[in-house]
Copies of this chain bind each other. A is one copy, B any other.
Amino acid sequence: MSSIRFFFTFILPLLFFSFHTQSQNKDSIALRKNFDYYLTKSNCYKNLEFLSTKIESRLSGSPGAAKAVIWTKQAMYEAGADTVYLQPCMVPHWVRGQKEVCASIHNKTKKQITYSVCALGNSIGTPKTGINAPVIVVNSYSQLDSLGEANIKGKIVFYNVYFDHKHLSTGTCYGETVTYRYAGPSKAAKYGAVASIVRSMSSINNDFPHTGVMGYDTVLTKNKIPACAISFSGADKLLEELKNNPSLTLQLKMNCEMLAKELSYNVVGEIKGTEKPNEIIMAGGHLDAWDNGQGAHDDGAGVVQAIEVLAMYKKQNIKPKHTIRAVAFMNEENGGAGGKAYFEDTKKNNLKHIVALESDAGGFSPRGIAIDTIMGAYKTVLSWKPLLDPYFVQYIKIGGHGADIQYLEKIGVPLMGFEPDGQKYFDYHHTADDTFDKINKRELELSAGVIGSLIYLIDTKGW
């Protein structure tokens, strides 16, 4: 073997390996330091406590949302942002009004039985006197179609669809059933239903009804009917009552209404890059939350994790090469106006994003990272798996990102979604039980640390 060939065959790979290993070691030390910061000095838990418990509920258009915008701006400055922009967007302003009533009269005792329900977001209310009508139970759209107008007209359709617990991902359970919440009301209205009730998209059996957005399909039917969700145990109780008295009359009162649109904002905090200030690395979550709970897991967690990315740089005195952005999106829950406004602004100003990452699956222990992107970037992140593995990143997979960043895909921005352990997410999701006391400090910090460390690796190593 020639000495040159010997060099290329044996020595160069060793040098490369040594260089590669040194580089990995350096990254490994940097990440360890970073997690020391997150686990002992970060502010995300305290920030989430404030956002969840000191500001009233923050559904788009509400006074709470307006206060949350002001607080987030301040929190981003305190975390170390050079600049914080308020990015305007017009948002729907839906209000629940007085607590909903859903009741029937027991067949024999003649006592009133009440069920825990909540109006779905964007639904119209009932007349002030409520709706009194018999109930028809429907287990699928095909059953709805077979029943048809003859059986449905004048009745309240009760979509009784369960999570299929065989799925390992609770997101899949949700994805399979959420159509009955979103599109069910108009499909029922087409056959003359007077209201729609859906079994809550819940992974556990308790008495919290789960709200969430619905939409009227005005192409399908001009008939808009009130739509609500019933708690899991309330649904069981209603089925039991219907077994004893199939023709019972259900009373439903909902006081919700859609008001005029309001001006609101995304909050965008920035630390300018030292080498490539025109290239943006972005981490975000959404600031709006359903009005029935505190929006601690959905998605206060994502917001404070994004804010903490700024603090990670500032408090450790690390200067990012690229511009780092933390974004708190408005109106993810019932319209997506913030995500659209961010996309329009990005396009208009021809801003280059290296990556957009969203965390919108709760503040639980880390589990994985999802990427929708060009293969090169995926492979690069996959090569960082050994660095992230000690911090409970089990997988890096293709496919999956938050709703607010979806539009950026059109202009070729690689999208990422942070995925925490999801087994409990749909226990709390969109309920009055999504409160700060369901957040574990270490779990929130570890997940924030994974997000920060990913941003750090992308900034220092790029694609």
Residues of A within 8 A of B (CB): 35-36, 39-40, 165-166, 168, 170, 203-204, 365, 367, 389-392, 394-395, 421, 423-424, 427, 440-443, 446
Q: Given the complex of chains A and B, what is the CA–CA distance between A421 and B364 in angstroms?
A: 11
Q: Given the complex of chains A and B, what is the CA–CA distance between A166 and B41 in angstroms?
A: 10
B365 near A392: Cβ-Cβ < 8 Å: no
Q: List B contacts of A166 (CB < 8 A).
A: 35-36, 39-40
Q: How far is the CB of A299 from chain B (nearest CB, A)?
A: 20
B39 near A391: Cβ-Cβ < 8 Å: no
**Which residue of chain B lies nearest to A391 when distances are taken between CB atoms in the complex?**
B168
Q: List B contacts of A389 (CB < 8 A).
A: 394-395
A165 near B39: Cβ-Cβ < 8 Å: yes
B394 near A423: Cβ-Cβ < 8 Å: no
Q: List B contacts of A423 (CB < 8 A).
A: 365, 440, 442-443, 446
Given contacts A423-B442, A442-B203, contact A165 B391 (CB under 8 A): no
Q: List B contacts of A443 (CB < 8 A).
A: 423-424
Quickly give the copy total for this chain. Answer: 2
Q: Given the complex of chains A and B, what is the CA–CA distance between A166 and B38 in angstroms?
A: 9
Q: How far is the CB of A382 from chain B (nearest CB, A)?
A: 15
Q: List B contacts of A394 (CB < 8 A).
A: 389, 392, 394
Q: Given the complex of chains A and B, what is the CA–CA distance between A441 and B394 in angstroms?
A: 22
A40 near B392: Cβ-Cβ < 8 Å: no
Given contacts A168-B390, A389-B394, 11 further A-B contacts (CB under 8 A): A35-B168, A168-B392, A168-B446, A203-B442, A204-B440, A365-B421, A389-B395, A421-B421, A423-B443, A423-B446, A427-B440
**Most interface-central of A35, A36, A367 (chain B CB within 10 A):** A367
Q: How far is the CB of A440 from chain B (nearest CB, A)?
A: 5
Q: List B contacts of A40 (CB < 8 A).
A: 165-166
Q: List B contacts of A391 (CB < 8 A).
A: 168
The 9 closest A-B CB pairs, nearest first, are: A394-B394, A423-B442, A39-B165, A423-B443, A36-B166, A365-B421, A424-B440, A40-B165, A365-B423
**Which residue of chain B lies nearest to A203 when distances are taken between CB atoms in the complex?**
B442
Given contacts A166-B39, A166-B40, A392-B394, contact A441 B365 (CB under 8 A): no
Q: List B contacts of A170 (CB < 8 A).
A: 442
Q: List B contacts of A367 (CB < 8 A).
A: 392
Q: Given the complex of chains A and B, what is the CA–CA distance between A234 and B130 in angstroms?
A: 52
Q: List B contacts of A390 (CB < 8 A).
A: 168
Q: How far is the CB of A162 from chain B (nearest CB, A)?
A: 11
Q: How far is the CB of A442 from chain B (nearest CB, A)?
A: 5
**Which residue of chain B lies nearest to A443 when distances are taken between CB atoms in the complex?**
B423
A-B contact pairs, 11 of them (CB 8 A): A35-B166, A35-B168, A39-B166, A40-B166, A170-B442, A203-B442, A204-B440, A365-B365, A365-B423, A392-B394, A394-B394
